[in-house]
Amino acid sequence: MIFIFGPLCSGKRAAAMELLHCTARELSARAVWDVQELAAQAGDLERLADELAQRDAVIATEIGCGVVPVDARERAAREAAGRLNCLLAQRAQAVVRVFCGIPVLIRGELP
């Protein structure tokens, strides 16, 4: 599994298509995105990470680098999204951070 993350609208899915050599249609079968939204509801982040890691690519939008939210639930959701990213990175053969559309390999090897 390739774990791809980066800011909103940074070109993460386009990078995934390039890295997996696939079309947009094929991507929806091979990859899952917006996983940051799944973290808050998950009772067991390790299990969620195991399930997601079955895909060829997992894509997350980085949401943890802004001002700490006033709302406790929002704070917990942001923290959970960050933890999920760490767990996905541990399971990935390659971790790619996308910066302005440029994929940067920060750990592992691309398939």
Partner 1 sequence: MMTLVIGGAGSGKSEYAERLLVSGGADAPRYYIATMQPFDEEGRARVVKHRAARAGRDFTTVERYTDLASLSLPHGGAALLECVGNLCANELFSPQGSGDGAEQAIVRGVEALRRQCKTLVIVSNEVLSGGADYLGETERYLRLLGRVNRALAASADNVCEVVCGVPIYYKGGALR
**Contact range with partner 1 by CB under 8 A, out of 13-21, 25-33, 49-57, 83-91:** 83-91
66 is an interface residue for partner 1 by CB under 8 A: yes
DSSP calls for 42-101:
-S-HHHHHHHHTTSSEEEEE---SSPPPSSHHHHHHHHHHHHHHHHHHHH-SEEEEEETT
100 is an interface residue for partner 1 by CB under 8 A: no
Residue among 26, 47, 75, 110 that touches partner 1 (CB under 8 A): 75
Which phi and psi (to 5°) does residue 72 adopt? -60, -40
User: Least Å distance between CB 25 and partner 1?
Assistant: 28
| Count of residues touching partner 1 (by CB under 8 A) | 28
User: Least Å distance between CB 39 and partner 1?
Assistant: 9
How many angstroms separate the CA atoms of 92 and 3, rounded? 6
